[in-house]
Amino acid sequence: MNTAQPQDQRPLHGILWMLAAGLFFVGLNVLVKYVGQTMPSSQAAFLRFLFGLIFVMPALVRLPRASFGAQIWKLFAMRGVVHVGAVLCWFYAMTQITIAEVTAMNYLNPIYVMLGAALFLGETFSIRRMMAVGVAFLGVMVVLRPGLRELGSGHLAMVFAAIFLGASYLLAKRLSRDASAAQVVAMMSVTVTIGLAPIAWTVWQPVNLEQLGWMVLVAFFATAGHYAMSRAFAEAPVSVTQPVAFLQIIWAAAIGALLFGEPVDLWVMIGAGMIMASVTYITWRETVLKRRVTPNPNEPKT
């Protein structure tokens, strides 16, 4: 049952916040694409998280007072390791394939989270969900078109990035039972920064003030995007805000073409639409089920 009352929901505000989140994330992609041409991807990833610590400083200051058990600290560390893999793959993919392809394959994250929740957290997985997942993966095949075109290391990196991100979100979901959202984000920032440091050191190149300035902007756009997305979810049901996220693929394709001369691939747009339609359907179905006050016990769960 959804505990939020109708007067607590402001769909227009939620849509506007999700639009803002999409713009921030597309801006993040553009900045990473640009900076990734001037320094190694692992070094850029490290600097993004290092400067990102500035924006989570209030939560970091309060972390020493947190009384977590050993199991929670292990989960924090495990999430850091998984997220390091996701960040490295994502930053590398941004330098190898188009922004539109990265954005399209990012839409798979909720699908991986749902599959992981069914496998590891015991959540239900119905035939309807299974069909929606099938449509999503068919969308991935449309984007990648294996056998019809040459696939590079960037495409493979993005596949792994989406898988690692899904695992990271699952661990965050588990951690949310015992830690606040601010603590979860702050610990992710610390552990990922530590994990990326030795990898960045192996390929480190001197950086100038201009590059450092760009990386501060990258950290800001990433933080602002996550904040705007959180506000969108707080203002309106996910079923209202989720479809708005599809606009990111339109903006990504347009900016990629205008700024980087990337060709607009119709098949990438179609595949992204299939993935997003699947995610939107699952989200809408979840919302419908939560609003049922007295569900029929004989009806299959979906």
Concatenated DSSP letters of 37-106? TTS-HHHHHHHHHHHHGGGGHHHHHHGGG----HHHHHHHHHHHHHHHHHHHHHHHHHHHS-HHHHHHHH
Q: Does residue 1 sit in helix, strand or coil?
A: coil
Is 301 a member of any domain? no
Question: What does each C-alpha distance from 60 to 51, 188, 224, 294 come to in angstroms?
Answer: 13, 11, 18, 43
Report the range out of 131-140, 153-162, 233-242 with the highest average pLDDT.
Answer: 153-162
The two structure tokens encoding residue 85 = 């893999």
Residue 35: which residues within 8 A CB-CB, separation 6 or more? 44, 211, 214, 215, 218
The two structure tokens encoding residue 195 = 């994990």
The two structure tokens encoding residue 138 = 């068919």
Range of the structural domain that residue 185 is part of = 21-290
The whole-number pLDDT of residue 241 equals 72
The whole-number pLDDT of residue 201 equals 95
Nearest to 67 by CA among 176, 175, 178: 178
Is 160 a member of any domain? yes
Report pLDDT digits (tens) over 159-208.
899 889 888 888 887 887 888 777 888 888 899 999 999 999 999 999 99
Is 107 a member of any domain? yes
The two structure tokens encoding residue 23 = 């713009």
DSSP assigned state of 227: H
Is 10 a member of any domain? no
Report pLDDT digits (tens) over 252-272.
888 888 888 888 888 888 888
The two structure tokens encoding residue 158 = 């993005």
Number of domains in the chain: 1
Is 13 a member of any domain? no
Give φ, ψ of 146 to 5 degrees.
Answer: -60, 135
Is 14 a member of any domain? no
Q: Tell which wins on pLDDT, 299 or 170.
A: 170
Chain position carrying tokens 């792994």: 160
Is 5 a member of any domain? no
Question: What does each C-alpha distance from 247 to 18, 179, 220, 261 come to in angstroms?
Answer: 10, 32, 21, 20
